[in-house]
Structure 1
Amino acid sequence: METVSVDGGLLLSERRYMDDILTRAGMVDCKSLSTPAAITKVASSATDPYENHMQYCRLAGALQYLTITRPDLSFAVNRLCQFMHAPIDEQWGMLKRVLRYIRGMLTYGLRLSASPSSNVHAYSDSD
């Protein structure tokens, strides 16, 4: 994780880590996408197991760590991690989609800035 000074605060970034993930996946020069998950695709009933189970697990785990500074990936990565025990080809395609999204958003990070107030706010869900 690296911190970059920006106007009015800091940017927490993991660009090098994202580059490393893309290198491990062989997707350094892939086309980028604007969303990490397809919003119109209906899940299929395919059951063909993905042949490289360990590669899927390593990349999904690496993406899970990345959600610390990239909360925009949380939903898609959580979904991928639900299939780590037995991924199928369809989940591999979903994982590659997240990697293509990362490729287009390498400069993004988590921006931290000072607050003019010292008030602490807490939120709770009572359900």
Structure 2
Amino acid sequence: MISSLRFIVDDSVSIAYPTLYRSIVRALEYVTLTRFELSFSVNKSSPNYSIVVFSDSDWATDLDDRKSTTGYCIFVGRNLVS
């Protein structure tokens, strides 16, 4: 892990079709939140029901706006919940 690495805002687009990408992500989020029978069948096939949480925070080292950022992921088995 590199602790002295600093990121800055880059205005270049790294995705060829960002609107299509956002649309696909929104559709997948909608399916996982509204189709519980699909979530049940996916979860039923993974017998590992352990809860794993990852979190990370950055305390105002953003060189552009000096704001703190925090993120987390919660997994139940192999499935991302939040």
TM over 0.5: no
Counting helix residues as a fraction of each chain, which structure ranks higher? 1
How does the TM-score come out when normalised to structure 1?
0.18
How does the TM-score come out when normalised to structure 2?
0.27
Counting strand residues as a fraction of each chain, which structure ranks higher? 2
